[in-house]
Amino acid sequence: MTNETATKVGVTSLTYLGVAGSDLDAWDNFLTNVLGASCEKTETGLRARTDEQETRLWVEQGDSNDIQFAGFEVDDEACLLTVKARLDEMGYETELADRSQAKKYGALGLLKTKDPDGLEIHIVFGINLRPDLPFVSPAGVSGFVTGDQGFGHIVLTTASMDDARRFYQQGLGFEVSDFVSLPMGEQTLDLTFMHCNGRHHTLALAPVPIPNRLLHFMLQVDSMDDVGLGLERATAAECTITSSLGRHTNDHMVSFYVRSPSGFDVEYGYGAREIGPDWTVKQYQAASIWGHKK
């Protein structure tokens, strides 16, 4: 890592996510009884918590059943303005939201922009924490790995890996973790994994030119038992397990994948290794060491 990248101002975590769902009752049940997040109704949908942050996930009523926005955190207002200046210089459109709009997302400051595939991206600082209202999982999950590592990770499709990498790396400050090439018939699907904190990847990009952007989001729980119990809850709720229990080659996460009410997957895992200062970029030819069978 050069001094330049070590000191570069950028986003520090995925702090929240917004998705659209056409069946909010199913989402309420899924969040509460399968994933173990706490959930409450809003005027336009649902919002959920997995820790002391006031909101980690919004589910808005909508038929797109896809991601609506991703919120990334920066340290403070100065960092937000630095990122804005950089995005402006790179030719991306940015808009500083007013105070009431920022408040809607539980932030003191909010910058809106779009990634090259059109996804609404929020850069926020001063996110609202509620340690005075301790998070209690309604499904008895012992805890979610969040804090400095943020909400979890997302895997997005993109029509142009080069354009997407320019935006997320040069624009937002992500750094590459590693690459995974999956054989797809005679071709390969080349995935890029990126980090902005100790979490192995906060963002992965898949060069698949399809309208749906979100392939899955991931929640990391505190113990292997939380994964096993989550799998039992998903099975009992008759959810579709889209990928069996398995361990990934790159982040070493032990996880399973379950289909959400919107059709994209949620990965539910434990035990990922973390990025340290001596991290070096590697490549893999498979997604999993074992398991993750479709």
User: Where do contacts with Fe ion occur on this chain (CB under 5 A)?
Assistant: 218, 267
| Residues 6+ positions from 242 with CB-CB distance below 8 Å | 257, 258, 259, 265, 294
**Exposed / middle / buried, residue 209 (Cβ in 10 Å: 0-12, 13-18, 19+):** exposed
Q: Which of 100, 12, 107 has the alpha carbon at shortest distance from 54?
A: 107
Of 45 and 152, the one with the shorter C-beta distance to Fe ion is 152
Q: How far is the CB of 103 from Fe ion (least distance, A)?
A: 31
Nearest distance in Å: CB 216, Fe ion: 6
Question: With respect to Fe ion, which residue has the nearer C-beta, 49 or 200?
Answer: 200
Q: How far is the CB of 205 from Fe ion (least distance, A)?
A: 12
Of residues 198, 282, 214, 277, the one with CA closest to residue 248: 282
CB of 209 to Fe ion, least distance (A): 20
CA–CA separation, 113 and 172 (whole Å)? 11
Distance CA 153, CA 69 (A): 13
